[in-house]
Amino acid sequence: MDSLLFLGTGPGIPVRGKSCTSVLLRTPRARVLLDAGEPCSLRLREADIPVSAIDAVVITHGHSDHTGGLPMLLQAAWLAPREKPLPVYLPGALIAPLRAWLDAVFLPPSLLGFPLVFHPWQAGVPAAVAPEVTITPFPTTHLEGLRKIIDPSAAAAGRFEVFGLAIAADGRRLVVSSDLGAPGDLSSSLADPCDVLVCELSHFPPGELFSFLRGRAVGTLVLTHLAPGLAGREEEIAAQARAALPGLSRIVVPRDGEEIVF
C-alpha cells in the first residue's frame, strides 16, 4: 500500500485541533517522514509506527512549524532504542545550527546510539532517500520576504533556502509543495504529470492556486497547511476546488491523522 499519513496539517500559527506540518510517506518498502513539525513523535506513536521504522527524515526548510518536533523525535529514537542509521535531508545551512540545538538539549551524536547522517539538499539533484524513493528538491520563494528583512546579504550563503519535493515513489510521481511564495513556484515541478500534488494553502488565496492549476496534469490534489482563517472549512475548500478543477480525479483536504492511499 502506498499512502500519505498526515500527522499534522496546521499552519505556522497554532490552530486548535491541528498539529504542525508533518507527513509520513509509506510504500511497501519505505517510510519517509516529510518535515517534522511538533508533535510528530507523538502522532507516530498514536499511529503505532515505531521511530525505528522511519527510513529517512526530510526537512524542507528551517521554519519551526516544520522542524520543531525533530529533537523530540530523536530523543524518542534514542530511548526506543534505535540502532540503524537515520539519514536527514535538509538545507545545508541548517546543519550546523541543528547540531548546536541537539547539543543544547543533551542529544549529541555520542549519546544517540545510532548514526545521524545529514545530507544537504542541492536544487535539481535527485537523492535516493529510501528504497524505491527518490526525491528531487526544487526551490521556492517562500522566504524571500524574510530574507530582505532579516539579512539581505545571506542569499549567497543559502541561509533562506526552501525546497519543495518532487518524489518518485514505488513507480508513482508526487509533488509536495512545502511553503510557497506563490503558486508559480510549482511550475517546474508540474512540467511533467504527477499522480499526487500535496499543496499548502497558507500563503495565498485558494482561488489563486486553483487558477494556476487549471489544465495541469495532476491526478489527486491534496490541500493542507491551511491558513488560520480557513480552519474548519475543509469541506467548503474541497468543494471550491472541485468546482474550479473538474478535470482532477480526486481532491482531498485532510485532517490530522487522516491517511490518503494512492
Q: Determine the pLDDT at residue 149.
A: 92
Q: Which domain holds residue 79?
A: 3-261
CB of 88 closer than 8 Å to CB of 56: yes
Q: Determine the pLDDT at residue 200.
A: 98
Sign of the alpha-carbon torsion through 87, 89, 92, 95: negative
CA distances from 31 to 35, 130, 167, 221 (A): 13, 8, 13, 21
Q: Determine the pLDDT at residue 154.
A: 75
DSSP state for residue 233 in the 8-state scheme: -
Q: Determine the pLDDT at residue 222.
A: 98
The one-digit pLDDT tens for each residue of the chain (262 residues) are 799 999 999 999 999 999 999 999 999 999 999 999 999 999 999 999 999 999 999 999 999 999 999 999 999 999 999 999 999 999 999 999 999 999 999 999 999 999 999 999 999 999 999 999 999 999 999 999 999 999 888 767 788 999 999 999 999 999 999 999 999 999 999 999 999 999 999 999 999 999 999 999 999 999 999 999 998 999 999 999 999 999 999 999 999 999 999 9
CB of 213 closer than 8 Å to CB of 198: no
CATH number of 175's domain: 3.60.15.10
β-pairing, 259-261 vs 3-8, is antiparallel
For the chain, what is the domain count?
1
